[in-house]
Structure 1
């Protein structure tokens, strides 16, 4: 197992070094003797996981590793049937509209919606393919939960901060504050931001590498009397569904201190 572990450590180190690393720099970062590192780099280079230009002493992440990354991103664009099947189950359980959103080319887009044929129409109407305002929806904020502040600013730099209602965030700082809430609590709530009568709750869905690939959302008119007494249940069911979908996609979260064997 040690050679495999070392190979993964080398790949991770190079993936984080845009300017590449020399053999000595890799040895300094990783507890691997120079001779072993040289042999390991030779194998990785032969398999195209590491590359080095002729005459250069610096190693870079190779095309085989990039190809794996592209394949992973492509695979997450198509949800397995079992994961996708959890969405209508959530809509049936709660009796409320559900939609699943993805971040595509810098835009939040609805990829699936229970709106068609559902007893309670979503509000505002969210159908598959519909764009979702980055600044005014819980769905979009759940998609941004792992982004750095500068990445969120960059994403919002071309967004129109349309003031849909008095509760609509008016600028980047307000969006950053709401994304921070999502990181702390594991879900996001939008209360009359896009539509004055809409209440929505969203949670992130992760792929096998832990990356956020989408968000699952329950969104409906906040005037429904049953909703006012059922928000805790909505939160529990949305979080449960997001976790179940993530598990179907291979995500296994790190155990918390309370659940680790050492803490038992």
Structure 2
């Protein structure tokens, strides 16, 4: 196997960790090596070193490797850093308590929205909102809101990219999506109805940029089930959602 240019030990180790992040139930050495495009012998050595440093964990019973506790420690360190989003946590908890709905924060990462924070509401809905979860940008209210503040060339690139359909309700036509983004830009918030999860609707807004884009733009959303929350009820929470975004901006700025 020919290694790609610049394929040093660090990049190989990071590839293995990325593969394990995409497979939370863990992988054996051969599967991890194959997925990462590495020789089994190299993967075995690297995984052993990563396990010694607690970046990965090895399960003797299943003979699988998974991400280790050091990754969680790194994540917590990032959240506390100036580039992190820990300042959003308290306002989001208050928003969730006030509305009863889960408050979720995410950033745009390529063609996906990466969830970086979440606060559970009193309804305790089981949504795809765990930190680290990725969802297609065009199927989420956060993705549409974040797309609404992009320069035209970046928006065009998103619209020209792969647009999967998580549900039968997902809008994938580029022109229709452009209209949804334009509406979000005009209103200052976006919405989706069962486009990412069947039975779930949401609204989202972007946290105003007060720091000159030191970090990726953050969006905040409220999710609800179609059974428990009508559109009128969810729309009624938009002012509180936008106030939360303003508070986060002042804290992060």
TM-score range, shorter chain: 0.5 to 0.7
Q: Do the aligned partners of 2:108 and 2:137 also contact (CA within 8 Å) in 1?
A: no
SS at match of 2:242: helix
Partner of 2:131: 128
Offset, 1:178? 1.1
Residues 60-209 of structure 1: matches in 2 within 5 Å?
Answer: 77-81=83-87, 83-115=88-120, 118-122=121-125, 124-158=127-161, 160-209=162-211
SS at match of 1:219: strand
Q: Given the alignment, which residue of 222, 230, 233 partners 2:236?
A: 233
- 2:158 & 2:135 partners in 1: Cα distance? 14
Structure 1: gaps of 5 or more residues: 1-74, 251-264
Provide the TM-score with structure 1 as the length reference: 0.58
Q: Do the aligned partners of 1:123 and 1:198 also contact (CA within 8 Å) in 2?
A: no
Per-residue Cα deviation, 1:86-118 (whole angstroms, up to 9, x for no partner): 011100000111100012355310001124xx5
SS at match of 1:135: helix
Offset, 1:123? 5.2
- The answer as to 2:226 corresponding to 1:214 is no
Per-residue Cα deviation, 1:144-193 (whole angstroms, up to 9, x for no partner): 122133311213444x4222334311222222111111110000011121
- The answer as to 2:252 corresponding to 1:246 is no
- 1:110 & 1:184 partners in 2: Cα distance? 24
CA shift in 2, pair 1:122/1:145, >3 Å: farther
SS at match of 2:207: strand
CA shift in 2, pair 1:162/1:123, >3 Å: farther
Aligned length, in residue pairs: 172
Q: Which has the larger radius of gyration?
A: 1
- 1:162 & 1:175 partners in 2: Cα distance? 13
- 1:84 & 1:189 partners in 2: Cα distance? 22
- 1:122 & 1:112 partners in 2: Cα distance? 16
SS at match of 2:105: strand
CA shift in 2, pair 1:104/1:170, >3 Å: closer
Q: Do the aligned partners of 2:105 and 2:219 also contact (CA within 8 Å) in 1?
A: yes
- 2:168 & 2:195 partners in 1: Cα distance? 7
